[in-house]
Amino acid sequence: MSEYLPGLAGVPATKSNISDIDGQKGILTYRGFPLEQLAEHSSFEETTLLLLDGELPSATSLADFDMQLKKNRVVKYHIRELMKNLPSRGHPMEMLQTAVASLGMFYPGKECLTGEDFCENLNYVHDMTVKIIARMATIVTMWQHLRNGYEPVNPRKDLSYAENFLYMLTGKEPDPLLAKILDVCLILHAEHTINASTFSVLVTASTLASPYSVVAGAIGTLSGPLHGGANQKVIEMLHAIGSPDKAEEYISNRLKNKEVIWGMGHREYKTKDPRAKILQKLFRNLIEKRGGNINPLFEIALEVERICEERLASKGVYANVDFYSGILYAEMGIPADQFTTIFAVARSAGWLAHWREQLADNRIFRPTQVYIGSGIRTYTPIDQR
């Protein structure tokens, strides 16, 4: 195949049985299970194990996995000291990429990745996966305190993954409703076939780099505003609009100038992103539980979505997952620049499932190119030019 397709659009890069998308119908499944069922009945811990192993776990297996995650939440003080020396105004995604990459120096993990054959030691793969997923949340929440000049909050073993995240972030007992919402958000962001950051995982993993390098590379890819960084851009956009009555003019100007409307449209979906539907429902439930008190940003978001559907639905452009996730995080009191780090925490489950799958049938990626440069030329000495 010699045809050049920008962005490799539609070009299969791998075979996978982890997740699947039907963009026409707006269906996303993990290992064959509809996302809506997992969001309603599962937990992030169970969904993670499903993505990793391929089947819903038994109660015993899930309890063991949960305990493994809890035991690995603590990180060495060296990581904390390293983070203290990072610029406090640096973006949390840059911090996260740096910290995760540094984990490989304090928790070595390349002993099974030394030859051309794939790593057959599934205990090694599982152990490395647990350590990374458990510590991702710890690092993100530690940074919230360290960058403000305070010591981080120690993790607790009596809390679920989502509960512990909120506890470490705020230092307060987690609100059960907000913890449940965060748990669902983590499930929704855990996996999404071969997106840009997951493709980065495949390429890096194919070289037999350490899993820390694999995930650090994926974090860097996710940080861009055309990928994971869009949820922060949505909040900035809603603040810029200011009120629902100003949404029409704002959208008109953006469309006129051919500018991005953040949180709208997705390459895979020609209908509303199923994750956006679930998030919107979560926010309505939150409003109901709180007696009808509504975040002004939600009102603006509803108006923006209405206007965009009127103007863009015919082109298959609808709200995506980023459109509502940021509003929910803001309601939890999470700073906007931390939104994408939460995305990364959740997506680490899918990334490491793909890492394991890549190792099982590995071949280093080496795509070709369409050369459009000069033909063969003769070098001219510098004094003759």
Assess contact for 273 and 26: CB atoms under 8 A.
yes
pLDDT digits (tens, 9 = 90+) for 223-267: 988 787 788 889 999 999 999 999 999 999 999 999 989 989 888
Radius of gyration of the chain (CA): 22
What is the C-alpha separation between 304 and 280, in angstroms, rounded?
13
β-bridge mates for residue 34, sequence order: 29
Assess contact for 166 and 179: CB atoms under 8 A.
yes
Assess contact for 355 and 119: CB atoms under 8 A.
no
pLDDT digits (tens, 9 = 90+) for 31-62: 999 999 999 999 999 999 999 999 999 999 99
- Angstrom distances, CA of residue 113 to CA of 53, 116, 209, 270: 20, 8, 7, 40
Among the listed ranges 65-79, 198-212, 282-296, which one has the minimum average pLDDT value?
282-296
Catalytic residues: 266, 322
CATH fold label, 16-226+337-360:
Citrate Synthase; domain 1 (1.10.580)
Domain ranges of the chain: 16-226+337-360, 230-331
What is the C-alpha separation between 98 and 50, in angstroms, rounded?
28
The per-residue pLDDT of the chain, averaged, comes to 91
pLDDT digits (tens, 9 = 90+) for 268-323: 888 899 999 999 899 888 888 888 777 788 899 999 999 999 999 999 899 888 88
β-bridge mates for residue 30, sequence order: 19, 33
Among 121, 128, 126, 96, which residue's Cα sits nearest to residue 211? Answer: 128
Q: Say what the pLDDT of residue 112 is.
A: 59
CATH fold label, 230-331:
Cytochrome p450-Terp; domain 2 (1.10.230)
DSSP run (H or E) holding 19: strand 19-22
What is the C-alpha separation between 23 and 130, in angstroms, rounded?
31
pLDDT digits (tens, 9 = 90+) for 260-269: 899 898 888 8
DSSP secondary-structure letter at 29?
A: E
Q: Say what the pLDDT of residue 295 is.
A: 78
At a CB cut-off of 8 Å and minimum separation 6, what does 242 contact? 300
Residue 105 has pLDDT above 80, yes or no: yes
What is the C-alpha separation between 70 and 78, in angstroms, rounded?
20
Examine domains 16-226+337-360 and 230-331 and report if their fold is the same: no
Ordered alpha helix ranges (H), 257-295: 274-289
- pTM attached to this predicted model: 0.91
